Amino acid sequence: MSKYLLDKFLYTVDRDPDLVERYRSDPAGTVEWWEGEIANSILNCHGAERSTWLAFSEEERRALRSHDHVALFGMGAHPFLTLTLFIAMFERDHGPLEYQIAYARAMEHITLPYPDIAT
Amino acid sequence: MATVAAVIASTHHPFYYRASTSAGPDRPPFADEWVAKIEAFRQTLTRAEPDVLVMVGSDHFHQLWLDNMPQFLVGKAPFFDANWYNEEREFGLPRMRLAGDEDLAAYLLREGLDAGFDLAFSNELRIDHSVTCPIITLRPQADLPIVPVYTNIFAPPMPRPSRFVELGRALRRMVEAWPSDKRVAIIGTGHLSLELGGPRQFGPHGPDPEFDRKAVAWIANGDVDGCLGEVTLDSLHAPGNATHGFMDFMLMMGAAGDGVKADYTDSLDLFHTMEAYFTWYPEGAPS
């Protein structure tokens, strides 16, 4: 399991307006494309200088494909990244603060200590 | 030598800009009280007549990322562009550009390195709302050069709270020793109890009002020992999963001085998180 790679997915999608829309409308296709094209790119390097070892587990692919923020939290994905991206994708479908409150309510069974987010 | 004209510690609430500029049905019911408190807080900086601002904040995974994460970083550049697409998108923050004071940045880097802080630096830094929120609240004309100082309160492993206090003390000493006739305000922003992306987020108050009450008392009284006696990297998980941002308040307590009471203290209980504002005048309160 790679918390770093989950975070890298959330980070690179959240900062790109086109990718935010693509992930909202086609999560499975976006996750497959991203893992093939972006997962091993080193963000500040020329495209030819790629890593060779980064891949999702099937559990991680499933959580990302199903927009499952509760599962991502349980895996130790950085909660700020998940929240920011999911607000960008889904707040528009709800009234003021409705989405943020429902997001919290879906996690109310979770108690301290929360999953470790260290990468 | 330079003068520390003011030391200011504040929360950085990204929704203030939108709340304060909205009108009609979009204006939240708490906006007027919030604006009044901010305008009173702003006067505490205006009265100090600063020439340059040292701005302590934390990048929220904008330019600094897990493939290359500094613990403490000083921005040294003639200009800093500011705010990011996702801050525009979520908070409605405007794009900004601030001038930098490269002489002070170079001085802090040299002296900081020699004092045992292995400070990273950036010559091209796009700053985020941890720095621009206090510009918007405290100096909306954005007319003074800044030196941004970023801390890692976001991505473990992080430095311990005592290290933040020590860096605050060092910043104060370094600014006071800077060979310049300028008046420097040291401004830093952090959080009280805060939960982001977890079950306690966006409640009617901050996630831990009892922590907030104690935190405001520690800061207002300059009670560094009391604060360090209770706050650890582990303990900060309990009040809310983003409460490590409180360590930037601890840095500012170090800058203000052990046992030095704030000359100005205010707070505002909002949904999701409590706001808190503190100003110290090392030279004595200006008339």
Contact status of B246 with chain A (Cβ, < 8 Å): no
Report the chain A residue with the minimal C-alpha distance to residue B69: A119
pLDDT level of residue B287 (50, 70, 90 thresholds): confident
How many whole angstroms separate alpha carbon B3 and alpha carbon B157? 35
Q: Which domain holds residue A12?
A: 3-105
Find the mean pLDDT for residues A51-71.
98
Contacts of residue A107 in chain B, CB cutoff 8 Å?
A: 198-199
Q: Which ipTM score applies to this complex?
A: 0.95
Rounded distance between C-alpha atoms, residue B94 and residue B15, angstroms = 12
Model confidence band, residue B137 (pLDDT cutoffs 50, 70, 90):
very high
Residue of A nearest to B61 (CA): A11
Q: What is the mean pLDDT of the segment spanning B98-106?
A: 98
Our CA-based measurement puts residue A51 at a distance from the nearest CA of chain B, in whole angstroms, of 12
pLDDT at B206: 96
Could you give the CA distance from residue A52 to residue B279 in angstroms, rounded to a whole number? 51
**Chain B within 8 Å of A9 (Cβ-Cβ)?**
no
Give the pLDDT mean for B24-32.
Answer: 94
pLDDT in tens, B189-214: 999 999 999 999 999 999 999 999 99
Q: What's the confidence (pLDDT) of residue A62?
A: 98
CA dihedral (B52, B251, A78, B14) in degrees, to 10, reads -40
CA-CA-CA-CA torsion sign (A18, A20, A22, A28): positive
Tell me whether strands B183-190 and B3-11 are parallel, antiparallel or unpaired: parallel
Q: Is CATH 3.40.830.10 the right assignment for the domain spanning B3-280? A: yes
pLDDT of residue B232: 98
Classify residue A92: in a domain, yes or no.
Answer: yes
Cα–Cα distance between B209 and B213 in angstroms, integer?
6
Half-sphere exposure of B256 (CA within 13 A, CB side): 30
First to last CA, chain A: 11
* Domain assignment of residue A19, yes or no: yes
In whole angstroms, give the CA distance from residue B156 to residue A42: 21
Give the pLDDT score at A111: 97
What average pLDDT score do residues B253-271 get? 97
pLDDT band of B72, cuts 50, 70, 90: very high
Q: Is the pLDDT of residue A56 over 80?
A: yes
Torsion, Cα of A104, A106, A112, A118 (10° steps):
-80
Sheet hosting strand B120-122, strand order edge to edge: B120-122, B72-75, B146-151, B52-57, B183-190, B3-11, B274-280, B264-269
pLDDT digits (tens, 9 = 90+) for B33-47: 999 999 999 999 999
* CA atoms in the 13 A half-sphere facing the CB of A15: 15
Query: How much is the pTM?
Result: 0.97
A119 in a structural domain: no
Residues of chain B found within 8 Å of residue A15, distances taken between Cβ atoms: 62, 84-86
Tally the domains of chain A: 1
pLDDT band at B136 (very low <50, low <70, confident <90, very high): very high
Q: Note whether B85 contacts A: Cβ–Cβ < 8 A.
A: yes
Contact B122, B75 (CB under 8 A): yes
> What's the mean pLDDT when you consider all of chain B?
97
Q: Are strands B146-151 and B79-82 parallel, antiparallel or unpaired?
A: unpaired
At A16-43, the pLDDT tens digits run 999 999 999 999 999 999 999 999 999 9
pLDDT recorded at residue A43: 93
Residue A112 lies in a domain: no
Q: How confident is the model at residue A1 (pLDDT cuts 50, 70, 90)?
A: low
